[in-house]
Amino acid sequence: IFEKSKYLSQFIQFQNLVEKECFENKKVSYYAKAINVTPRTLNNITQSIVHKSAKAFISEILIVQIKRLLMNTQLTINEIAYKVGFEDPTNLFKYFKKYTGSSPHSFRTKHS
């Protein structure tokens, strides 16, 4: 129980950072360093709290943020790609499709 409560505060710190910075930083090593743990420890933390890897958790938050932009803004998909840190809009397309099974365009069409 002590381990889990210790992990919980670090996990919340990690989650807050990811929500704030996922457009600029997508690497586990960045977040591990920011909360003063090793990437392996960060993986242990996320595994123990949400039963997934730190990388999967970062991707999940990023996808939610991209979905919000697709549904709640008039930005073009290319503008969203640059805003969320993809240098090439086709990379956003591949990334989004990998995690959601649909293209950003069809997601937007379906949810607007």
pLDDT of residue 6: 75
Q: How far apart are the C-alpha atoms of 58 and 18, rounded to whole Å?
A: 6
- DSSP-derived secondary structure for 35-80: TTS-HHHHHHHHHHHHSS-HHHHHHHHHHHHHHHHHHH----HHHH
Would you write out the chain's pLDDT as a tens digit for each of its 112 residues? 555 677 999 999 999 999 999 999 999 999 999 999 999 999 999 999 999 999 999 999 999 999 999 999 999 999 999 999 999 999 999 999 999 999 999 999 999 7
Q: Structure pTM?
A: 0.90
Q: What is the pLDDT of residue 112?
A: 79
Q: Are 40 and 33 in contact (CB under 8 A)?
A: no
CA gap 97, 100 in Å, rounded: 5
Locate tokens 């919980």: which residue?
8
**Can you give the pLDDT at residue 16?**
97
pLDDT value of position 71: 97
Determine contact, residues 99/59, Cβ cutoff 8 Å: yes
